[in-house]
DNA sequence: TTTTTATATTGCAATATTACAATATAGATT
DNA sequence: AATCTATATTGTAATATTGCAATATAAAAA
């Protein structure tokens, strides 16, 4: 017990959950916001932007990368991290679809 | 250590993280999918739809409710759970906004 | 009123996450 | 080559999450 029962759900459900989970921490949302704000890929100063120690930031970046929210390559002693539009679009369309279905429904009982 | 440093981030970042975190588990995504599929609010049979024990499902429902993804009221020995369109829309517009900004960018270095 | 039915709560064990100090790594600079 | 700089990894402690058995709760049905 304690481990998520991933194999009992559909691939799509797991995929959405993985992406959502990656953004389920304010530091990682902040990283995404920062990547958008600077409008660039090379963000060597991201550690200075967050109220967290360098290893912690590195760990959060790793999780975002593992989940597919960002992609990045090592370039010497700097890093090139970019948002992966494909993943963002997956989330966007998932929620847009829900929203549309809720709009049609209107049986607003709660 | 171990606790999330919530107070170091903006309210919006925390709000998005809370909503995303709630959907960061496939069982909770499955619950959302099911609420959409049945197109109704009263979903007493949700326990039978998931590969999890009743207390576990109850706990996931509680987390979805705490995060604001669903709203619900107790009605006798059945439950009326609905998706909260407001929360879904928050997520949808957050990701739509990111997507639009990424579209404009085009400096696809990674 | 007793029983049934459906959901919630409690308690607990297994696992995962969060955070950081210390250290490693590797390209850039001198 | 030695040093600097930026990021990654390791190890570890604190906390959170996941899952379920056992139990509680409360309205409905008998």
User: Which pLDDT value is given to residue A108?
Assistant: 55
Nearest protein residue by Cα to C1' of nucleotide D10: A55
For residue A47, pLDDT beyond 80: yes
For residue A48, pLDDT beyond 60: yes
User: Which pLDDT value is given to residue A94?
Assistant: 98
Please check whether strand D approaches the CB of A59 to within 7 Å.
yes
Please check whether strand D approaches the CB of B6 to within 7 Å.
no
- CA distances to A76, A88, B65, B106 from B103, in Å: 28, 11, 34, 6
State pLDDT tens for residues B13-72.
999 999 999 999 999 999 999 999 887 777 778 999 999 999 999 999 999 999 999 988
List CB contacts of B107: < 8 A, sequence separation 6 or more: A39, A40, A41
3-state SS, residue A24: coil
CATH architecture of B9-105: Orthogonal Bundle (1.10)
Q: What is the CATH number of domain A11-96?
A: 1.10.10.10
Nearest protein residue by Cα to C1' of nucleotide D18: A2
Cα–Cα distance, A7 to A17 (Å, whole number):
13
**Record: contact B20-A20, CB cut-off 8 A:** yes
Considering only the beta carbons, identify the residue of A30, A82, A103 that sits closest to B9: A30
User: Which pLDDT value is given to residue A45?
Assistant: 84
Mean pLDDT confidence for A28-48: 88
- Strand runs labelled E in chain B: 70-75, 78-83
Please state whether beta strands A78-83 and B78-83 pair in parallel, antiparallel, or not at all (unpaired). Answer: unpaired
**Record: contact A91-B95, CB cut-off 8 A:** yes
> How do the domains of chain B map onto residue ranges?
9-105
Closest chain B C-alpha to A34 CA, distance in angstroms: 11
User: Which pLDDT value is given to residue A81?
Assistant: 87
User: Which pLDDT value is given to residue B4?
Assistant: 74
User: Which pLDDT value is given to residue B78?
Assistant: 64
Considering only the beta carbons, identify the residue of A16, A96, A101 that sits closest to B29: A16
Residues of A61-93 as b/e, b for ≥16 C-beta within 10 angstroms? bebbeebbbbbbeeeeeebbbbbbbebbbbbbe
**Record: contact B21-A25, CB cut-off 8 A:** yes
For residue A55, pLDDT beyond 80: yes
- Strand runs labelled E in chain A: 70-75, 78-83
As given in the structure block, the two tokens for residue B85 are 């369109």
Which residues of A in 31-60 have their CB below 7 Å from strand C's atoms?
A: 52-56, 59-60
Please check whether strand C approaches the CB of A6 to within 7 Å.
no
User: Which pLDDT value is given to residue A105?
Assistant: 74
State pLDDT tens for residues B73-90.
755 556 778 899 999 999
State pLDDT tens for residues A58-100.
999 999 999 999 988 755 566 778 999 999 999 999 999 999 9
Cα–Cα distance, A40 to B108 (Å, whole number):
9
Provide, in whole angstroms, the distance separating residue A56's CA from nucleotide D10's C1': 13
Please check whether strand C approaches the CB of B18 to within 7 Å.
no
């Amino acid at each position: 017990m304690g481990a998520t029962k991933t194999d009992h759900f559909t691939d799509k459900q797991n995929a959405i959950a993985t992406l959502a989970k990656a953004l389920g921490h304010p530091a990682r949302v902040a990283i995404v916001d920062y990547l958008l704000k600077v409008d660039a890929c090379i963000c060597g100063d991201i550690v200075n932007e967050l109220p967290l120690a360098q290893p912690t930031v590195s760990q959060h970046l790793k999780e975002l990368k593992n989940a597919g929210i960002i992609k990045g390559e090592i370039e010497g002693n700097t890093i090139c991290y970019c948002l992966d539009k494909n993943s963002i679009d997956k989330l966007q369309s998932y929620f847009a679809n829900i929203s549309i279905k809720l709009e049609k429904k209107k049986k607003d009982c709660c």
